[in-house]
């Protein structure tokens, strides 16, 4: 059982690797042969195998392809950002009547697990952005394989941003450009890559995460325009899934800096716009992958069970525990849905029992 499961009782387990590296999946210094090119003889077949391509899966085309949008947020879930998540996301519906679902790539430090639980029970996806949030390539290059991961979302593409690259499995060689070397070239059968299709900022430069786009928009209109322009790059071409990858810190800031409220208003205006379109679905990354595995046209989308309306899960965290840890150099607070672990959970002690 992994740490997130332990604390909030979720069963799904996903990954946003900070950096993709062959060794992080193959383990240590093991050398593996490069993957062969994806075959055209039909031997790579959904739902378990899918070649990297800009062609929508399942022979679907044009307006019968639902436009998938995944809204994602990185880093800790806290009392500062949870109210925004609740107000922005909890009351929106997809065209089939189901609540929208966002994906939260959480890091452990400073995360409030009773609030993580709240996001999960409202139908949002809890995914992994690491315990340590370490940003050096070498740290991840030396990691061995983790258990149970089925996809990663960490690899930007500029070459295949419009028309966009669809998610693909790593059974065969990817066609994707490698922006952050080294990229894996070995085969990892059945393991999905969800490419991050670059946005283009108003200055013409690419940005994998919307909060990296420059110039940083300072008005509601500029924010809405940035999001809409990049959305239309996909919606009017091959309808590859659009990821709106961001941090809440792009939208929440000091009240004496009105640009934050402006950006939030522009972001919400964009969600309102998406909600007005009959063929746009805001779903989690895992829900999007279920669709790629079983492509279903807009005309039949009401029969697609992974996106169907679901009852809200019960609150299993009515009385969260407020845990406090300290030593001579630091102090950490952690709200948990289980009795406080003896020690602050961390790498190699992810249940905090040691």
> Which residue number, 24 or 169, has a Cβ lying nearer to Zn ion?
24
Whole-number minimum distance, CB 109 to Zn ion, in Å? 11
Closest by CA to 343, choosing from 285, 334, 8, is 334
State in angstroms the smallest separation of the CB of 219 from Zn ion.
26
What minimum distance in Å lies between the beta carbon of 213 and Zn ion?
A: 17
In the block, residue with structure tokens 């102090």: 331
> How many CA atoms does the CB half-sphere of 51 hold within 13 Å?
16
Cβ 244 vs Cβ 74: under 8 Å: no
Q: What angle do CA 301, 307, 308 make, to 5 degrees?
A: 85
Is the Cα dihedral 222, 224, 229, 230 positive or negative? positive
Using the minimum distance from each CB to Zn ion, give the nearer residue, 75 or 118: 75
Q: Which is nearer to Zn ion, 75 or 171 (CB)?
A: 75
Tell me the pairing of strands 103-106 and 151-152: unpaired
Residue 101 CB, nearest approach to Zn ion (Å): 20
**H-assigned helices in the chain:** 3-8, 22-26, 82-89, 113-121, 137-141, 220-235, 259-275, 285-293
Minimum separation from the CB atom of position 16 to Zn ion (A): 8
Instruction: Tell me whether residue 223 or residue 246 sits nearer to Zn ion (CB atom).
Output: 246
CB of 172 to Zn ion, least distance (A): 30
CA distance 184 to 112: 34
Closer residue to Zn ion, CB minimum distance, 65 or 209: 209
Could you write out the DSSP letters of every residue in 13-37? --B--SS--HHHHH-TT---PBPPP
Nearer to Zn ion, 74 or 198 (CB): 74
Nearer to Zn ion, 74 or 152 (CB): 74
On whether the CB atoms of residues 215 and 93 are closer than 8 A, the answer is no
75 versus 198: smaller Cβ distance to Zn ion: 75
Strand partners, 34: 186
What is d(CA 276, CA 270) in angstroms, rounded to the nearest whole number? Answer: 10
We find the least distance from the C-beta atom of residue 176 to Zn ion, in angstroms, to be 22
Contact footprint for Zn ion (CB under 5 A): 74-75
Shortest CB 75 distance to Zn ion, Å: 5
Contact 122, 315 (CB under 8 A): no
Handedness of CA 204, 210, 214, 218 (dihedral sign): positive
**CB nearer to Zn ion: pick between 75 and 233:** 75
DSSP codes joined into one string, 56-73: PGGG--GGGS-EEEEEEE
Nearest distance from residue 105's CB to Zn ion, in Å? Answer: 7
């Amino acid at each position: 059982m992994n740490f997130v499961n332990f604390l909030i009782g979720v069963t799904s387990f996903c990954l946003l690797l900070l950096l993709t590296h062959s060794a992080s999946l193959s383990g240590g210094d093991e050398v593996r042969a490069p993957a062969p090119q994806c075959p055209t003889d039909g031997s790579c077949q959904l739902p378990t195998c899918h070649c990297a391509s800009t062609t929508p899966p399942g022979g679907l085309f044009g307006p019968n392809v639902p436009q998938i949008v995944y809204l994602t947020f990185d880093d800790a879930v806290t009392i500062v950002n949870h109210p925004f998540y609740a107000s922005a996301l909890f009351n929106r519906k997809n065209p089939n009547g189901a609540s929208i679902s966002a994906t939260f790539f959480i890091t452990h430090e400073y995360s409030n697990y009773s609030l993580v639980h709240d996001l999960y029970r409202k139908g949002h996806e809890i995914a992994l952005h690491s315990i340590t949030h370490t940003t050096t390539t070498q740290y991840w290059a030396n990691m061995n394989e983790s258990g149970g991961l089925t996809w990663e979302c960490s690899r930007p593409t500029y070459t295949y941003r419009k028309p966009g690259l669809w998610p693909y499995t790593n059974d065969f060689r990817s066609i994707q450009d490698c922006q952050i070397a080294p990229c894996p070239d070995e085969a990892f059968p059945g393991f999905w890559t969800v490419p991050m299709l670059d946005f283009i900022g108003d200055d013409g430069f690419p940005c994998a995460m919307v909060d990296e786009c420059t110039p940083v928009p300072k008005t509601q209109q500029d924010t809405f325009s940035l999001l809409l322009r990049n959305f239309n790059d996909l919606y009017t071409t091959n309808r590859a899934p659009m990821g709106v990858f961001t941090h809440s810190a792009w939208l929440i800031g000091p009240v004496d800096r009105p640009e934050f409220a402006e950006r939030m208003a522009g972001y919400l205006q964009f969600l309102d716009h998406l909600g007005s379109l009959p063929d746009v679905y805001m779903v989690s990354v895992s829900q999007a992958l279920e669709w790629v595995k079983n492509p279903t046209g807009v005309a039949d989308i009401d029969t697609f069970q992974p996106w169907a309306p679901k009852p809200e899960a019960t609150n299993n965290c009515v009385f969260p525990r407020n845990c406090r840890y300290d030593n001579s150099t630091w102090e950490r607070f952690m709200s948990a849905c289980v009795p406080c672990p003896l020690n602050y959970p961390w790498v190699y002690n992810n249940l905090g029992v040691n």
